Amino acid sequence: MTMKFSNLGISKELESLLNKQRIEKPTDIQQRAIPIILKGKDVIAQAQTGTGKTLAFMLPILESINPENTNIQALVITPTRELAIQITKEVKKLISAKDVNILAAYGGQDVKKQLRKLKNNIHMVIATPGRLLDHIRRKSIDLKSVKMLVLDEADQMLEMGFLKDVEKIIHKTSKTRQTMSFSATMPKEIISLSSRYMNKPVKIHIKSKNVTLDKIKQVVIETTERQKQDALCNYIEENRPFMAIIFCRTKRRVKKLNGILKRHGYDSDELHGDLSQAKRNRAMKSFRDLKTQFLVATDVASRGLDIDGITHIFNYDITKDVEGYIHRIGRTGRAGETGVAVTFITPKDKNTLKTIEKGIKAKLERQNS
């Protein structure tokens, strides 16, 4: 018998909405986490994006929310605005099964509009830490009745220096809440945070083999800093990627490379933290809608984002560690498609590449530029 969502305790209504999206068989993390979360237990899960972790916490949360109760019952904290938007989109596809109101609160949005919405009977908030603290300071949000709290991509929140903010937020929620943390890696700070704020958490570890990595062809192009631009343009000319994200190390390098690609006549755009939220949203929308073919980005775009049709990921600048590498290339090869990840390396990147190869336990195919 194949496993179904209803076998895990998910209602037929939600199951049928999932099936309409061709989501039929629960993934490993879903099979393990859903029954535990439904029982009300705290969970500390190590799982990467691409494993289906969003639904692993979202489905039991939707099951547990009481629409008649007009208080905020669930809170999901995410490190980036993009991830908050994406999770909100994913859950909105499911709320026709249940009358649940959701507020996405992230920086750059109109605060007044958010405040008006907050008066409106919100059951679930999906937010970045900064914006949430803003609302807490203005006393425009009351988290006392939050009984389910999710820290998504906890290790990235740590990396971005948000842990203190997250702790302040946790203190505003109910002491009897259920707490869940999802993280690709488990640095000691996250383990310590969990032991302070969780009650006998169940630990779930989904092996770091990312479900999507198998479907990604990974290639390394050896080049030099001076020749990188030409190497990229040559690759694009020869292989004609349908849709690609090109990752650079810094905002400056993103802006510069996007300018160059545009001058070459490519249909490209940029995404990084210096842009206003409206511009970031526009860039993402036009990429999703296939109006932009190449999105040049910093790591703002590497976590969690799930966009259909990305055929290529370019590491124009290599990442400094294996986790970052997996996150970036996991933007392709999603939901049953295949993808290509191309990493440009200069002589000074050789040791970093070795570390990455060790981390993913594979030697990558080399090509000369």
What is the spatial distance between Cα 218 and Cα 310, in angstroms, rounded to a whole number?
A: 14
The DSSP bridge partners found for residue 244 are 294, 312
Angle at the Cα of 59 from the Cα atoms of 53 and 65, rounded to 5 degrees: 135
The smaller minimum CB distance to ligand AMP, of residues 165 and 306, is found at 306
What is the spatial distance between Cα 173 and Cα 133, in angstroms, rounded to a whole number?
A: 12
The smaller minimum CB distance to ligand AMP, of residues 151 and 345, is found at 151
The smaller minimum CB distance to ligand AMP, of residues 254 and 305, is found at 305
What is the spatial distance between Cα 174 and Cα 358, in angstroms, rounded to a whole number?
A: 43
DSSP, collapsed to helix, strand or coil, labels residue 204 as strand
Closest approach of Cβ 53 to ligand AMP, in Å?
Answer: 5
Closest approach of Cβ 18 to ligand AMP, in Å?
Answer: 7
Closest approach of Cβ 282 to ligand AMP, in Å?
Answer: 22
The DSSP bridge partners found for residue 269 are 295
71: left (phi over 0), alpha (psi -120 to 50) or beta: beta
The smaller minimum CB distance to ligand AMP, of residues 271 and 310, is found at 310
Closest approach of Cβ 95 to ligand AMP, in Å?
Answer: 15
The smaller minimum CB distance to ligand AMP, of residues 25 and 285, is found at 25
CB atoms within 10 A of CB 130: 14
Closest approach of Cβ 23 to ligand AMP, in Å?
Answer: 4
The smaller minimum CB distance to ligand AMP, of residues 34 and 254, is found at 34
Closest approach of Cβ 29 to ligand AMP, in Å?
Answer: 8
* Cβ–Cβ under 8 Å, residues 292 and 267: yes
Which stretches of the chain bind ligand AMP, using CB under 6 A?
23, 25-27, 30, 49-55, 304, 306, 335
Q: Is the dihedral of CA 76, 78, 84, 89 positive or negative?
A: negative
